[in-house]
A and B are shown apart, each in its own frame.
Chain A
Amino acid sequence: MSEQPVHYGLMGEFDSAQTLLEGAETVRGQGYRSIEAFSPFPVEGLAAVLGNQRDWIPLWTLLGGIAGAGISYFIQYFSAVHAYPLNIGGRPLHSWPAFIPISIEFTILGAAVCAALALLIVDRLPKLYHPVFNVPRFEHASRDGFFLCLRSDDPKFDQQATAASLRQAGARQIWEVPR
């Protein structure tokens, strides 16, 4: 903790999803907060252990749906009543039941597009370079490897002590992650 750490953090590899989950719980219990975990498939409960607090994606999906519905209905109303009124068999210009199908489709489109954008923004993707890719065995994270990374920006981070914590948590191999 004395000098500015030059690397991103320390990474340990675990044997299985179960040991990774237990390891994450252990280091979390020791007071680490800047923890990242990597696995080849979603591990139930891992996000909660890492301190995931609030999911914003559902809210953005809802807002996107409302926006899609409102905008598409308004366009139909505006064009049919004001911009281009057509008298078709004396039917009312604002024939709202006929506007429903397109509004439904745009509700779904707005919600889906906003959900996707929210996912990318919250995840900070695309991000083609990331320090963890420097770890030689990290290519196994998309295959059969389970990794835990303790970042150096954690106030509790200390080269020796953190390595010991990782080992105690069950890591079978430990690397420094260069920036």
Chain B
Amino acid sequence: MSDTAKRAGTAKEFPVTHGALTYAGVTDQVCGVFQDRPASRGWMWGVVLSLLLVALFLVSIGYLVVTGVGIWGINVPVAWGFAITNYVWWIGIGMAGTFISAALLLLRQQWRTAINRAAETMTVFAVAIAGLFPVFHLGRFWFAYWVAAYPDTMNVWPNWRSSLTWDFTAISVYLIVSLMFWYFGLLPDLASVRDRAVGRFRQRFYGLLALGWRGDALHWHRHELFLKLLAGLAVPLVFSVHSMVALDFSIGDTPGWHSTIFPPFFVAGALYSGFALVLVISIPLRAGYRLHDLITHRHLESMAKAMLACGLIIAYSYLVETFIAWYSGNKYETYLVINRTTGPYAPVYWTTIACNVLVPQLLWFRRIRLNLKALFGISLVVLVGMWLERFVITIISLHREYVPSQWHMFYPSVWDWTTLFGSLGVFAFLFLVYLRLMPVVSMHEVRKLIMPKRAES
């Protein structure tokens, strides 16, 4: 089936599911991954490697807490080093999950069904990790709660005119709403897992999580209604959250930050890196757990197209940024562009352009979109490119501000790198554990999807 469609080479679309899937087959295929089969060797190695990185992360954070942010390469004026770069990158990745779930649900894109759960899970973990960076960047992280509004005995309130306060609120709200979206979507699937679980402990564990879901028709009706409402709330939330992150920069008067294009530019970049990570996760997942019937070429190709679309918006934003710097006639903005393209960090900037603008143009070709190795590679390139872009925005803008006496280079220290790679390990570890505990595909939505097919036959 897939091969003939591939041959055709026309605009014909792949089906959303393959094969003769039955209701029970969906459950067995998805739950069998963690309920019937023991952990695979690849999974074990993944856990060992990621645990090593988790240890590295904990050591880095521990050393940071007892010593201070001086262990990083930051200085004045580059006070926002890797911590903020990592933060913006992770939070951007965390945008795609809710976008796939919410926006595509409202647009009735059926191809979201098999990948939305993996994407939502990715979102929750990415946002949780992202939130750690600004907190530890404070140096005295135990005062982080001062940003929250509460009637304290010090009689001090947050400054509501500060974009950092907005950002804190936005990220907290986003984490809570993403968690709710993820958990309530998971609820009926947890009931499926519960009814299949062997052993008293597992039955109780999943039974408690499933809240006694029994598939009542009225419950289903309200569940669908609720998810649609939540999706309607989550779409503006996704856009607002990364806009707030962008405002952290653009409210400041630093050349390279102070521009109105930042919120939409950041949102596009966030979805760009998010789609890339969804692809990086779902391609091995599909191969490793043989989910070919559920995650088809349709999903991967659609995501590749979405990624390309985001990449084009990013390319446009780079262009406009450069054009406006010249058109504004502002010599500081003009100098920023010259410094960015020819200054000491020029290689970083040009690598960003190569990763984010040039390489993804390969996705115009259907042959490459259907080549999973190429797609995986391009997604990794985009992830690296987006991290570098955050570096360009944060560090190149800061390191040469208005007067040369403020100029200073930023060189990352060992602890900058260990924190970055450690955070990748934390993400990988959380995701691998999730794979052994919970269904990675939304089973009830796939069942609904295959229903009319069965009626025909």
Q: List residues of A whose CB falls within 8 A of some B CB.
A: 16-18, 24, 36-43, 46-47, 50, 52, 55, 57-58, 61, 65, 75-76, 79-80, 83-84, 86, 88, 91, 95, 98-99, 101-102, 104-106, 108-109, 111-113, 115-116, 119-120, 122-123, 125-130, 132-133, 138-144
Residues of B close to A99: CB separation below 8 A: 160
In chain A, what residue has the closest Cβ to B170? Answer: A105
Whose C-beta in chain B lies nearest to the C-beta of A120? B211
Inter-subunit contact A57/B229 (CB<8 Å): yes
Contact between chains at B157 and A79 (CB < 8 Å): yes
Interface of B, secondary structure class, is helix
Indicate if the CB atoms of A38 and B229 lie closer than 8 Å.
Answer: no
**CB <8 Å contact, B214 and A133:** yes
Interface string of B182-198 (1 = CB under 8 A from A): 00100010011011100
In the complex, what's the smallest C-beta–C-beta distance from A166 to chain B, in angstroms? 16
A84 contacts B155, CB within 8 Å? yes
**Interface-located stretch among B285-293, B385-393, B442-450:** B442-450
Chain A's closest residue to B159 (CB) is A86
The docked-state distance in angstroms from the alpha carbon of A101 to that of B226 is 25
Known: A84-B155, A95-B161, A142-B188. A105 touches B225 (CB 8 A): no
Q: Which among A55, A95, A141, A143 has the highest number of chain B CB atoms within 10 Å?
A: A143
In the assembled complex, which residues on chain B have CB atoms less than 8 Å from the CB atom of A17?
451
Q: With a CB–CB cut-off of 8 A, which chain B residues contact A109?
A: 173, 176-177
Asked whether, in the complex, the Cβ of B173 is within 8 Å of the Cβ of A55, the reply is no
Partner of B224, one of A42, A50, A130: A42
| Size bracket of the B interface | 35 or more
A16-B455, A47-B221, A52-B221 in contact; A115/B155 too (CB < 8 A)?
Answer: no
Task: Provide the bound-state CA to CA distance between A123 and B218, in Å.
Answer: 8
Closest chain-A Cβ to B286's Cβ sits at a distance in Å of 22
Q: List 21 A-B contacts (CB under 8 A).
A: A40-B192, A42-B444, A46-B220, A55-B221, A80-B157, A101-B169, A101-B240, A102-B166, A108-B240, A111-B229, A112-B177, A112-B230, A113-B176, A122-B222, A125-B211, A126-B211, A128-B211, A141-B195, A142-B191, A143-B24, A143-B27
How many Cβ-Cβ contacts under 8 Å join chain A to chain B? Answer: 186
Q: Does B454 contact A (CB under 8 A)?
A: yes
Q: Would B27 and A57 count as touching, CB distance under 8 A?
A: no
| Cα(A44)–Cα(B307), bound, Å | 33
- The distance in angstroms between the C-alpha atoms of A119 and B187, with both chains bound, is 12
Residues of chain A within 8 A of B444, CB atoms compared? 40-42
B18 at the interface (CB under 8 A from A): no
Q: A57-B222, A105-B173 are in contact. Are A43 and B217 (CB under 8 A)?
A: yes
The one of B155, B194, B225, B229 that contacts A142, using a Cβ cutoff of 8 Å: B194
Which residue of chain A has the shortest Cβ distance to B22 in the bound complex? A144
> Residues of A contacting B226 with CB < 8 Å?
57, 115-116, 119
Contacts of A50 in B (CB 8 A): 217-218
Contacts of A111 in B (CB 8 A): 229, 233
Q: What's the nearest-Cβ distance from chain A to residue B13, in Å?
A: 23
